[in-house]
Amino acid sequence: MNYNSLTTHETQNDSISITGKSEDSTYWSVADIEALLDAPFNDLIYRAQCVHRQHHDANGVQLSTLISVKTGGCPEDCGYCPQAARYHTSVENQDMLSLDDVVSAAAAAKAKGASRFCMGAAWRGPKQRDIEKMTEMVRAVKSLGMETCATLGLLKPGQAEQLGEAGLDYYNHNLDTAPEYYEEIITTRQYQDRLNTLQEVRNAGINVCCGGIVGMGETRQSRAGLIAQLANLNPYPESVPINHLVQVEGTPLYGTAALDPLEFVRTIAAARITMPKAMVRLSAGRQEMSEAIQALCFLAGANSIFYGDKLLTTGNPETDHDRALLDKLGLHAL
Ligand code: SAM
Ligand code: DTB
Ligand code: SF4
């Protein structure tokens, strides 16, 4: 199918659909997604917006607040990450936060309007004693009436069940990039390890939050490859964070050539079209992004953001600033 000439046609029930691969199809080839990314920008965004409106509140944005419950000193070698022990960045190691600290941060996030609270840890994966502390945190945050999410690295059999029993709603574990580019970025764990963890999460009945990073020097074909991997997960993730690389001094990817911001917008649109019901999160990198590009991301189907002045270790727009942006665009928090 040639997406370079996307046209619209009226369907029997008069709603607008667009010729091309059906959004309900379960399989997307890399070539299908490359064709989307290669399409004229207006055609791509229009199609993404149509898909978005079929499945979501057109002007709603979900707000998730992040907290790093254990910072730095990580044994892995992810080339983008300021928390890897082997890179010399300005991140200071911090032991696990106390339950009280986490609950206060969650309550403050809720008071500012966040509906989900995501707890991240700089681990290859949690040990059993870590899972015990995490389940306490999940229970406490859940009891505040917030959705809970955790991102703790690779999970061993049985760990996802324990998190699920404590009330974990989502587990974030990213594929990060396309399989063929992965070894350029991370060598201490394999793509298949990540897929195995995602399967553990699915088997435990926890919603999957899985996405990746763009702007790591990958080709457009590799961006298509990432989206294909995500879209072909069966079922595809409920939540899809699309991060723009935050370049941190001391990491191997610091100094990577800047990506054209419109490529980022195209990637968001491809995620929306191929995973119509997912929440697509405009994730890391917003602080470095203009309001105009963020607005285009919302137009392309992003309907979730990280909300709060910090991601895990790097900055994110101030909440007042984000509120003003949402107001300016007539967007409301979900
Ligand atoms: N240690 C766990 C793991 O890697 O699975 C959980 C935390 S890790 C920081 C979560 C995700 O943050 C990574 O998979 C990556 O997608 C994202 N991330 C980390 N550093 C980033 C950066 N500098 N820019 C954009 N995204 C980043
Ligand atoms: C995700 O996809 N992005 C978030 C969250 N999941 C855990 C993390 C972004 C981290 C950006 C770099 C930092 O702040 O350390
Ligand atoms: Fe460790 Fe996660 Fe950072 Fe990789 S992304 S170095 S696993 S904290």
Flag whether pLDDT at 238 surpasses 80. Answer: yes
- The letter for the amino acid at 173 is H
Name the residue with the closest Cα to ligand 3, atom 4: 78
Cα(162)–Cα(152) distance, rounded to whole angstroms?
A: 13
Confidence of residue 26 (pLDDT cuts 50, 70, 90): confident
For the CA of 310, the closest atom of ligand 2 is 14
Amino acid found at 116: R
Q: How confident is the model at residue 7 (pLDDT cuts 50, 70, 90)?
A: very low
Q: What is the mean pLDDT of residues 81-88?
A: 98
**Ligand 1 centroid to residue 81 C-alpha, Å:** 6
pLDDT reported for residue 22: 56
pLDDT-based confidence at residue 244 (cuts at 50, 70, 90): very high
Residue 27 structure tokens: 């399989």
Mean pLDDT of the region 141-149 = 98
Number of H helices, E strands in the chain: 11, 12
- Give the residue-averaged pLDDT of 270-297: 98
SS3 224: helix
Q: Which domains does the chain have, with CATH numbers?
A: 30-333 (3.20.20.70)
Range 261-267 average pLDDT: 98
In this prediction, residues 302-312 reach a mean pLDDT of 97
| Residues counted in the chain | 334
Quick one: average pLDDT of 12-38?
A: 69
Find the ligand nearest to 121 CA. 1
Tell whether the model's pLDDT for residue 195 goes beyond 80. Answer: yes
Amino acid identity for residue 156 in this structure: K
**Ligand 1 atom closest to the CA of 154, numbered from 1:** 5
Radius of gyration of the chain (CA): 19
Q: Say yes or no to pLDDT of 38 above 80.
A: yes
**Mean pLDDT calculated for residue range 303-315:** 97
Instruction: pLDDT band for 15, please (50, 70, 90 cuts).
Output: very low
Q: Would the pLDDT of 3 be above 70?
A: no
Name 203's Cβ contacts closer than 8 Å, sequence gap at least 6.
Answer: 160
Q: What is the DSSP string of 34-88?
A: HHHHHS-HHHHHHHHHHHHHHHS-TTEEEEEEEEEEEBS-B----TT-TTBTTS-
Residues taking part in catalysis = 74, 78, 81, 118, 149, 209, 281
pLDDT at residue 226 tops 60: yes
d(CA 272, CA 145): 28
Q: What is the DSSP string of 82-105?
A: TTBTTS--SPPPB-PPPHHHHHHH
Q: Which residues pair with 18 in a beta bridge?
A: 8
pLDDT for 24 beyond 60 = no
Supply the mean pLDDT for the chain: 93
Cα–Cα distance, 252 to 86 (Å, whole number): 10
Residue whose structure tokens are 């580019």? 181
Query: Is a pLDDT exceeding 70 seen at residue 23?
Result: no
Which of ligand 3's atoms lies nearest the C-alpha of 151?
Answer: 2
Q: In the predicted model, is pLDDT for residue 173 greater than 90?
A: yes
Angle of CA points 84, 90, 93, to nearest 5°: 55
The fraction of the chain above a pLDDT of 70, given in percent, is 93
Confidence band, pLDDT 50/70/90 cuts, at residue 236? very high
Instruction: For 130-140, write each residue's pLDDT tens digit.
Output: 999 999 999 99
pLDDT at 8: 30
The H-assigned helical ranges of 211-301 are 220-231, 261-274, 291-299
- The answer to whether the CB of 74 is under 6 A from ligand 3 is yes
For the residues 285-308, what does the mean pLDDT come to? 98
Structure tokens at 64: 């998730």
Phi, psi (5° rounding) for residue 240?
-130, 95
Phi–psi pair at 30, nearest 5 degrees: -60, -40
Between the CA of 19 and the centroid of ligand 1 the distance, in Å, is 36
Is the pLDDT reported for residue 319 higher than 90? Answer: yes
pLDDT tens track for 85-124: 999 999 999 999 999 999 999 999 999 999 999 999 999 9
Residue nearest to atom 19 of ligand 1 (CA): 81
